[in-house]
């Protein structure tokens, strides 16, 4: 269940990146409706739609999609700020619902007033589902591909920043200062003391967490009874971030980042460890890498 909830909360494109492109997309989808009704004639009870009637249903699609995709975000900007897969599914349902209601009214009052209201509602919504199945599938795959390209682009830019960070580290070695000292207190009497720059990542399993850090030429780890939320408060450093519900990663320890439709994965410096990044945290990780590069350039 948690896996499906995470998927629904994952970021997803809100169609295209401006109103003009979205309107062109909406016009294309509306013309598809007209073409579909003309070629396949899916309307129930063997009624043949005239060309003006076909364009009437296309116009209904145009108006409703324009309202939902272009007008609604301006009325409720807060709801559309952080767009997710769950919200995308919900607004797709709204498209179908509103088009189904409008199509039912057209059937009731214009095309088939001789039938009962329930017959018209059932017939109209069946037509909407048949007509909408292909564009809904196409649009989902199209937007998912856009997200993949964006993730790959962001990963490429982030890797360029990471290369600059590596160069800056060679030119200006990090000095060990008192503020880098870190002591983690567990729920028991155990503690872990290390220098923050040596920390690689923390992996959690319920109320237990395993710390991984550099120790000379090798990697050392230790298990403590402490959850990630507690660890976050104790580290209190902007470059040690919660990138996943089970991981905290030190941005300084990232050597490479890969991206796909499922989000990003972080390779840890001089290791074979790959840390997953939950999709809601992807943008934050990219921003932190850029911030680290900027801080090192100013140092």
Task: Tell me the per-residue pLDDT of 205-245, one tens digit each, with 9 for 90 and over.
Answer: 989 999 999 987 789 999 999 999 999 999 988 889 999 98
Q: What are phi and psi of 199, to 5 degrees?
A: -65, 130
Residue 46 pLDDT > 70, yes or no?
A: no
Per-residue tokens: 166: 């590596």
Only one residue has tokens 């991984």, namely 212
Q: Place 174 in a pLDDT band, splitting at 50, 70 and 90.
A: low
* pLDDT given for residue 97 in this prediction: 97
Q: Place 81 in a pLDDT band, splitting at 50, 70 and 90.
A: confident
* pLDDT given for residue 176 in this prediction: 44
* pLDDT given for residue 299 in this prediction: 63
* pLDDT given for residue 179 in this prediction: 57
Partnered with residue 208 across adjacent β-strands are 205, 225
The CA R_g of the chain, rounded to the nearest whole Å, is 27
Residue 140 pLDDT > 90, yes or no?
A: yes
Residue of 181 and 97 predicted with greater confidence: 97
* pLDDT given for residue 175 in this prediction: 52
Q: What is the mean pLDDT of the chain?
A: 89
For residue 269, the number of C-alpha atoms closer than 13 Å in the C-beta half-sphere is: 21
Residue 45 pLDDT > 70, yes or no?
A: no
Residue 78 and residue 54 in contact, taking contact as beta carbons nearer than 8 Å:
no
Residue 159 pLDDT > 90, yes or no?
A: yes
What kind and span of H or E run contains 268? strand 263-268
Q: Place 178 in a pLDDT band, splitting at 50, 70 and 90.
A: very low
* pLDDT given for residue 236 in this prediction: 83
Residue of 173 and 33 predicted with greater confidence: 33
Q: Place 202 in a pLDDT band, splitting at 50, 70 and 90.
A: very high
Q: Place 173 in a pLDDT band, splitting at 50, 70 and 90.
A: low
CATH superfamily of 172-298: LytTr DNA-binding domain (2.40.50.1020)
CATH 2.40.50.1020 residue ranges for the chain: 172-298
* pLDDT given for residue 15 in this prediction: 94
* pLDDT given for residue 222 in this prediction: 95
Which residues have C-beta within 8 Å of that of residue 212, sequence separation ≥ 6? 199, 200, 201, 202, 203, 219, 220, 221, 268, 273
Residue 43 pLDDT > 60, yes or no?
A: no
């Amino acid at each position: 269940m948690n896996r499906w909830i995470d998927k629904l909360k994952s970021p997803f494109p809100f169609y295209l990146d401006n109103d003009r492109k979205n309107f062109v997309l909406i016009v294309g989808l509306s013309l598809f409706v007209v073409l579909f009704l003309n070629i396949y004639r899916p309307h129930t009870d063997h009624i043949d739609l005239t060309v003006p009637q076909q364009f009437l249903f296309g116009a209904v699609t145009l108006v409703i999609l324009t309202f939902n995709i272009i007008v609604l975000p301006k009325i409720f900007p807060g709801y559309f700020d952080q767009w997710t897969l769950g919200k995308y599914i919900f607004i797709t349902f709204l498209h179908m619902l509103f088009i189904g209601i409008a199509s039912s009214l057209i059937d009731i009052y214009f095309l088939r007033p001789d039938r009962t209201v329930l017959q018209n509602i059932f017939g109209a919504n069946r037509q909407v589902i048949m007509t909408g199945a292909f564009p809904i599938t196409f649009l989902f795959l199209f937007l998912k591909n856009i997200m993949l390209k964006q993730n790959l682009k962001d990963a490429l830019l982030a890797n360029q920043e990471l290369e600059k960070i590596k160069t800056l580290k060679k030119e200006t070695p990090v000095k060990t200062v008192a503020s880098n000292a870190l002591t983690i207190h567990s729920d028991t009497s155990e503690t872990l003391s290390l220098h923050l720059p040596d920390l690689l990542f923390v992996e959690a399993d319920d109320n237990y967490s395993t710390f991984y850090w550099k120790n000379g030429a090798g990697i050392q780890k230790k298990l403590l009874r402490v959850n990630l939320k507690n660890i976050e408060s104790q580290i209190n450093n902007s470059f040690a971030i919660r990138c996943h519900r089970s991981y905290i990663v030190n941005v300084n320890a990232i050597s490479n980042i890969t991206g796909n439709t499922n989000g990003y994965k972080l390779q840890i410096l001089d290791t074979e460890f790959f840390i997953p990044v939950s999709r809601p945290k992807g943008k934050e990780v990219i921003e932190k890498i850029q911030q680290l590069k900027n801080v090192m350039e100013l140092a």
